[in-house]
Chain A
Amino acid sequence: MSAAARNPRLAVALGVLGLIALVSLGAPWIASHDPRAAEPENQLLEPSGEYLFGTDLLGRDVFSRVVYGGRRTLGVALLTAGITLAPGIAIGLVAGYAGRWLDWALMSVMDALLAFPSLLLALALVTVFGSGVVQIAFAVGIAGIPAYARVVRAAVLEARAVPYVEAARAIGARPAGILARHVVPAIATPLLSFAGVTLSWAILNSAALMFLGYGGDVAAPDWGVMLADGRESFRTGPWVAVAPGVALSLTVFAINLLGNSVAPPPANR
């Protein structure tokens, strides 16, 4: 029996995420209109057979924009998560395993960064980097490193104290070998679980920066940009903001569910 079937939460999460991934990848075949084609004579039309989710102020098809928007929103989020995870894991491993002054130095820097709310830190960084999707990914990604590094370090500290790791050290195994062979497998589950949280956080924060107009390309279909557009016409055409809002929430919900369902199972299995 597969894991998904035994775990309904996992099944739902994978199902939703799979659907979103499929739609995003297959956007050119699924979208009914050109997501950038403005037809001002069709502005703010209600949802209909022709325009499944209605049209926006410039007469663009909201459905097609949501479908294409997933590509950009999720692409940026994946890049962001990568930028957070790689240095986050490295710093956490080194600090947790090496201990002493290196741990102290690394964690002091991380704590200083943690003092800023991550979205504010990302905002500050993106004003330095300038507008654009890659800039957003770096800004949000870097802002997320401290939290991830802390979680990794905590897990490493726990794993380091386990007798077989102590034993490995006692027989003189090299630190890199111990980290790779013993520590990393031991902390894989919490790491994975927190990676899910990081990803959903990356989606929300990068969408927030897009919403604030740091995405560069104002015409690009993107859930954050669409939310911002939709706000201006919310009273005449609520669907413009609701559609990308639902897509965004659904994605974050599914990722969080995924993170929860891979969390350590109850001890009494």
Chain B
Amino acid sequence: MAFDAGRRQRAPVRIGVLGALLMLFCLMVGVVAVLLLRTDADDSGDNGNRIVYGLTLEPSGFDPHRHISSELGIPLFSVYDTLVYRHPQTMEFVPGLAERWEMAPDGLSWTFYLKQGVTFHDGTPFDAQAVGANLDRVMNPGIGSAKARGLLGPFAGYEIVDPFTIRLNLSEPYAPLLDGLSQVYLGIASPTALASYSNNTYQWHQVGTGPYRVEEIVPGDRIVLTRNDDYAWGPVFYAPVTGQSLDMIEFRFFTDPPTRSLALESGAIQMIGELLPTDTELLVGNPALQIFRVPIAGTPQQFFINTRRSPGDEQSFRQALLYATNRTAIVDAVFQGQSPLAYGPLTAVTPFYDPGVAEKYPFDPDFARGLLQGIGYQDTDSDGVLDRDGAPLELTMVFAPWNQMSDVAQLIQSQWRDIGIDVELIQVPDYPTLAAYAEEGDYDLISLYDFAVEASILNQFYQSDGARNWSGVSDPELDEWLEDAIRTPNQADRAQLYAAIQDRIMEQALVLPIRDYVNLNGASARLDGVIFGAHGWWPLLRNFQLTS
């Protein structure tokens, strides 16, 4: 056939054209592939100094006015400014968006004189109206503030004195007010942005006055911040911008603890917190990395002892539990010795911590046995478990699995078995289940801890009507001290009260402290100026430098 003949004759040419087309196509595919891959790789070059920062959990929400997670402050503490700041070294209050402030002699109002010339990332000017709009939002029950509302304490309204002066009124004196105002939860957001989005959608379009602006938030995937070059109103501890300051920070989630050290070593991220203690040990020798062990103020990792039921209602019994616990062994094994032992209801870096608590309750199993004997416990049936009135000494310990708590609980179980106490361990999956146990009261020990630079965090745990009084303590004198300590502005008086409070809590053995919380951060050795705010969790990204 003609067609056949033609093909035979022109075959070399046709193959040549086809081949050329094929080669061209292959080449194009290759170029496209390279281009696709290059755009990815080029991000770091084109955007200047860029790092990826690993976040360790996906908070249920990212709106600091509404949500409670400490994690949200890691990006957002640099997006917002607060009226005042705590100096990370001295813990003293220094000017933020307020250049000065004063408390009325009766302690019932605070006047804040605001900085002028400050603008939000969206161009909205900052003034007293903006602060008022933020206070209105936080106080609005409709937004369901989990943390910010509580930080304002007995807040009773505000008056705008002039465009740059605002007065906050309180129904009673409240010493922790400044601390609350220094936290990301009370960061000042743009009133324009707050009005443009709903209470729920604002969290993905946050606008502040801080050194970094939100470029994008993709829920569950990433948060991208870029530098705010107009920023000129930072607190005294913010470093000036240099050629090595970060231009862009991308936050990504590494919720699975074992993956964090690997991501850091591979260079996928330049910084992350909450490394596993065993992994941290491995990273110490790596010259490309550095480790920052940041102690966190607040309560230690601890167990409350239920005083509402037997045998936790007996002081000697509670004391025996403290003497029977070898904290050193727990911290060495589970936390690889990278956390200080905890001795009292506050961690050692918390202002008003009383070092006196450290002398109480050394590990002394014999003394613990003596105390238990003193209240009638003996092993009458020689089964290794103490008993009294025919009932064996069995305790229920409830905890959530965060922060190696399961390992801690298993070691305590094994230590207490040695002196004849049988412990049933109940691990619950999340906070609501834990709180449900607390509500029902069906436990002898329950684990709960929280973070704050303010010693007034103790009120919720140890006041008889405290929101999370899970030890069930009811001590009128303790109540009075706790009340007084948040009313008096005098630091020396507060120190004295908190010393008495800590002493009483430990004398009563209401809590079994295990270790002071330490956030194990890992960072690329190229990062300089790594520093955290006074509250421990939140990095001061403004001061970070990327060296080459």
Contact = CB atoms under 8 A, between A and B. Distances in A.
A227 to B, nearest CB: 12
Contacts of B414: 36-38, 58
A221 to B, nearest CB: 12
Interface string A219-241: 10000000000011111110000
Contacts of A218: 406, 409-410, 425, 427
A184 to B, nearest CB: 42
Interface string B412-433: 0110000000000111110000
Of the listed residues A131, A213, A217, A235, the one surrounded by the most CB atoms of chain B closer than 10 A to its CB is A235
B267 interface: no
B425 A236 contact: no
Interface string A177-214: 00000000000000000000000000000000000010
Interface stretch (B72-80, B305-313, B328-336): B328-336
Nearest to B278: A236
Contacts of B406: 218
22 contacts: A36-B414, A37-B414, A38-B411, A38-B414, A40-B330, A57-B333, A58-B410, A58-B411, A131-B427, A131-B429, A213-B429, A218-B409, A218-B410, A218-B425, A218-B427, A232-B258, A232-B276, A232-B404, A235-B279, A236-B281, A236-B282, A237-B278
B154 to A, nearest CB: 40
Contact of B278 (A37, A216, A235): A235
A59 interface: yes
Given A232-B278, A236-B278, A236-B282, 4 more contacts: A40-B333, A57-B334, A232-B276, A235-B258
Interface string B325-359: 00001101110000000000000000000000000
Of the listed residues A41, A219, A237, the one surrounded by the most CB atoms of chain B closer than 10 A to its CB is A219
Given A36-B414, A38-B414, A59 B333 contact: yes
B407 interface: yes
A11 to B, nearest CB: 39
B319 interface: no
A125 to B, nearest CB: 15
Nearest to B265: A235
Contacts of A38: 410-411, 414
Contacts of A216: 426-427
Interface string A229-263: 00111111100000000000000000000000000
B401 to A, nearest CB: 6
Interface string A39-74: 011011000000000000111000000000000000
Interface of B: 257-258, 261, 276, 278-279, 281-282, 329-330, 332-334, 401, 404, 406-407, 409-411, 413-414, 425-429
Nearest to B257: A232
Contacts of A213: 401, 427, 429
A219 B413 contact: yes
Contacts of B333: 40-41, 43, 57-59
Given A57-B334, A58-B333, A235 B407 contact: no
Contacts of A36: 414
Given A57-B278, A59-B333, A218-B425, A235 B413 contact: no
A37 B257 CA distance: 26
A235 B401 CA distance: 20
A76 B410 CA distance: 23
Of the listed residues B334, B406, B428, the one surrounded by the most CB atoms of chain A closer than 10 A to its CB is B406
Contacts of A231: 258
Contacts of B426: 216
Interface class of chain B by DSSP = helix
A44 B279 CA distance: 13
Interface residues of A, number: 23
Nearest to B330: A40
A98 to B, nearest CB: 42
A58 B258 CA distance: 17
Given A38-B414, A232-B258, A57 B282 contact: no
A217 B278 contact: no
A256 to B, nearest CB: 29
Contacts of B282: 235-236
Nearest to B406: A218
Contacts of B330: 40
Nearest to A230: B258
B289 to A, nearest CB: 14
A135 to B, nearest CB: 13
Interface string A15-41: 000000000000000000000111011
Of the listed residues A36, A131, A213, A232, the one surrounded by the most CB atoms of chain B closer than 10 A to its CB is A232
Contacts of A57: 278, 333-334, 407
A112 B333 CA distance: 48
Contact of A40 (B258, B404, B411): B411
A225 B268 CA distance: 30
A149 B330 CA distance: 50
Contacts of B261: 235
B423 to A, nearest CB: 10
A208 to B, nearest CB: 15
Nearest to A57: B407
A234 B257 CA distance: 11
Contacts of B427: 131, 213, 216, 218
B429 A58 contact: no
Contacts of B278: 44, 57, 232-233, 235-237
Nearest to A59: B333
A231 B262 CA distance: 13
Contacts of A236: 278-279, 281-282
What 10 A-B pairs come out closest when comparing CB atoms?
A: A40-B333, A38-B414, A236-B278, A218-B406, A219-B410, A218-B427, A40-B329, A233-B278, A43-B333, A231-B258
Contacts of B258: 231-232, 234-235
B332 A40 contact: yes
A218 B411 CA distance: 11
Of the listed residues B281, B334, B407, B425, the one surrounded by the most CB atoms of chain A closer than 10 A to its CB is B407
A217 B427 CA distance: 8
A142 to B, nearest CB: 20
A218 B413 CA distance: 11
A5 B276 CA distance: 51
Contacts of A41: 329, 333
A173 B411 CA distance: 66
Contacts of A40: 329-330, 332-334, 411
Nearest to A231: B258
Contacts of B413: 219
B2 to A, nearest CB: 55
A111 to B, nearest CB: 31
A101 to B, nearest CB: 42
Contacts of B428: 131
